[in-house]
Structure 1
């Protein structure tokens, strides 16, 4: 399958860190589907839109305390 035909999904972990993963493969341990699926470019655009603070959730919470 060429990269233009490959379908991806946006995934995130418990630390609210984002990545992309192939839709035809099982998700790796610790990651869940965010809900967006499409081309690599579409998924990366979604991540750029929603992942505005790159710090892990645990660090953000620690700094807010």
Structure 2
């Protein structure tokens, strides 16, 4: 059995939480609580590219905000 998080042929989603953190998620699995779909089902590579373009600050939103004050 292939690990669903590493299957290059599977469909994936990009999830985002309230802190702005992103996650690559197998489309075959239920979206966990606290996470929302930021990018609909696509290839693994396309989802990873989406994450690379959008999630440029790895700090949680609450930490980034407190550091700017």
Q: Which residue number in structure 2 is paired with residue 11 of structure 1? A: 15
Q: What is the TM-score of this pair, normalised by structure 1? A: 0.85
Unpaired runs of 5+ in structure 2? none
TM-score by length of 2: 0.81
Kindly tell me the number of residue pairs found equivalent between the two proteins.
65
Maintained 8 Å contact 1:9/1:22? yes
Aligned equivalent of 1:30: 34
Which 4+ stretches in 1 moved above 3 angstroms? none
Q: CA RMSD in A?
A: 1.7
